[in-house]
Amino acid sequence: MTTALLVAVIAFAGCYAFINGFHDVSNSVAAALRTRALTPGAAVVSASVFNLLGALMSTTLALVLADLFIKLPAGSSGLGILIAGLAAACAWGLWTWLRRMPSSSTHALVGGIVGSGAASTLVGGQSISESFRVLWDQIALPLLLSPVIAFVLAYLLVYPVMWLMRYSSLRRGDAGNRIAQSVLSAAFSLGHGMQDGQRTMAVIVLGLVAAGYSTGGQIPWGVQLFAGGALAAGALFGGWRITHTLGYRLVRIDPLRGMSAQAVATAMLFLGGLWLHIPLSSTQTMTSAIVGAGANRRFAAVRFIPLREILVTWLITAPAAALLGGIFFLALSPLL
């Protein structure tokens, strides 16, 4: 039974990474497509390749998350918590994709596992409440603060960029910004693979530890390749529904502001993944940066009705995923 549950954890982790890929590829390509810096085909292929490279580039964040995320009980109970949490994150990702809403896959994953872990205590499982305290300062707080920081930085970055380009013609400036956007789009995909790929790795390692196949001290190469491959395959599948929301429904951006938004979002992903080793939502970071850069032109340019829908989706993502995770665990508990 333990081996079968571990296989289920790996399968659901692969589904989560695949859904994450086609759900979040819009973050990498929306601004570049909106300003015609990249063609759709080139944008998707670039996003897929660099997501894979990002997932293979580092494992430090995965090890940090595996240590801090949740101290799972060993055996079938811990594996059941992971299965229910991953199923909840997958279900929420598909639902928001159908509604064309950019939402945080990280919030969904954290909420799903917390909800399933809480439900496990209701059926006599080992309490994991002692590990919840790390969720706020290590995971939840960075995820909540990053959209605000991305908005402010993108809004402010437009000013020095405009000053540097003050002697350039509009045509020459737009051409240069489109080239920069092409590079930054690839860099953002690299950062996305580094961030989101390592979350999938962390979950699989937690499953290996719960099943007794690993001590959690390292990420096997096979796990890296599996997580990166599933993420890249999802990105190649494409997510045009959410790309339209980010690129066309929120705010009108020109190449200068598109480049500024991508520069801020990319820098934040690399800062969080390589230096601070904290998870950041690529969806929330890029969406906030796009709105911040677009609002620099004038706040009236921001379309507040779709923005309000997105903010509501962000607020309910973790609670909704937690509820789903709890329901899924209770449904699965007779088999545990």
- What integer is the mean pLDDT of 97-126? 80
3-state secondary structure at position 32: helix
Looking at beta carbons, which pairs linking 175-179 to residues 24 or more positions away fall under 8 Å? 177/35, 177/37, 177/254, 177/255, 177/256, 177/258, 177/259, 178/35, 178/36, 178/37, 178/255, 178/259, 179/37
- pLDDT score of 138: 56
End-to-end Cα separation, the chain, in angstroms: 8
pTM: 0.86
Q: Is the pLDDT of residue 78 over 50?
A: yes
Query: Which of the given ranges, 17-21, 83-87, 242-246, has the highest pLDDT on average?
Result: 83-87
Chain Cα centroid distance, residue 272: 12
Quick: pLDDT tens for 284-301.
Answer: 898 899 899 888 877 777
